[in-house]
Amino acid sequence: MKSNHQRHHKFVLLIMVCALILLSSCGSRKPAYTSSTKAAKAAEAMANLNNKALYRFITDWTGVKYRLGGLDKRGIDCSGFALLLNKEIYGLNLPRRSVEQAGVIKEKSQAQLKEGDLVFFSFGGHGVDHVGVYLNHGFFVHASTTRGVIVDDLNLPAYQQVLVKSGTVN
């Protein structure tokens, strides 16, 4: 029969081995910010914004539902979101409709996009019918018809296939 003293030593040894395993494995884990999940990448894009007022604006509007013609927290459409963001963050006045907004930009390629640039899409196939605001690392914010105001990955095939124009507001 083992003494309490022997059991105590085995227990202490077991605890020490577990602690060593735990400590050594922690060093090999990838930090959370390098996660490959869509949400983690979107959060990283937000964290990397240069303009903190832009960060606050997007955070404040995230999740607001889509409403055609909407311009407030009860619901907003894509062009209304781009209009309010540009007015509040950059002091720029944009036309109300996305097709008109596309007419007041200096075009640039996707590779040249900078924080605050506009990206335009043609989901209906008949010219510009959607707009978003570029953030960084291939992410943009927009008012999605199904998900409301959200940060999304511009490199997704669903967006790449319908991206028709991008650039800086003149």
Q: What is the DSSP string of 4-15?
A: HHHHHHHHHHHH
Q: Residue 163 belongs to what domain range?
A: 50-169
The CA-CA-CA angle for residues 163, 167, 168, to 5°, reads: 150
Verify whether residue 126 is a known catalytic residue.
no
pLDDT number for residue 131: 98
Among residues 5, 8, 9, 130, the one annotated as catalytic is: 130
Question: Which of 139, 143, 117 is closest to 130 using CA atoms?
Answer: 143
CATH number, position 139: 3.90.1720.10
Among residues 5, 126, 137, 142, the one annotated as catalytic is: 142
Verify whether residue 5 is a known catalytic residue.
no
pTM of the model: 0.78
Better-scored residue on pLDDT, 39 or 83: 83
pLDDT number for residue 88: 98
Q: Residue 102 domain-assigned?
A: yes
pLDDT number for residue 17: 41
Mean pLDDT computed over every residue of the chain: 86
pLDDT number for residue 54: 98
What total of structural domains would you count in the chain? Answer: 1
Q: Residue 19 domain-assigned?
A: no
Verify whether residue 78 is a known catalytic residue.
yes
Report the alpha-carbon distance of residue 165 to residue 115 in Å, rounded. Answer: 16
Q: Residue 32 domain-assigned?
A: no
Tell me the per-residue pLDDT of 64-108, one tens digit each, with 9 for 90 and over: 999 999 999 999 999 999 999 999 999 999 999 999 999 999 999
Q: Give the CA count within 13 Å in the CB-facing half-sphere of 62.
A: 15
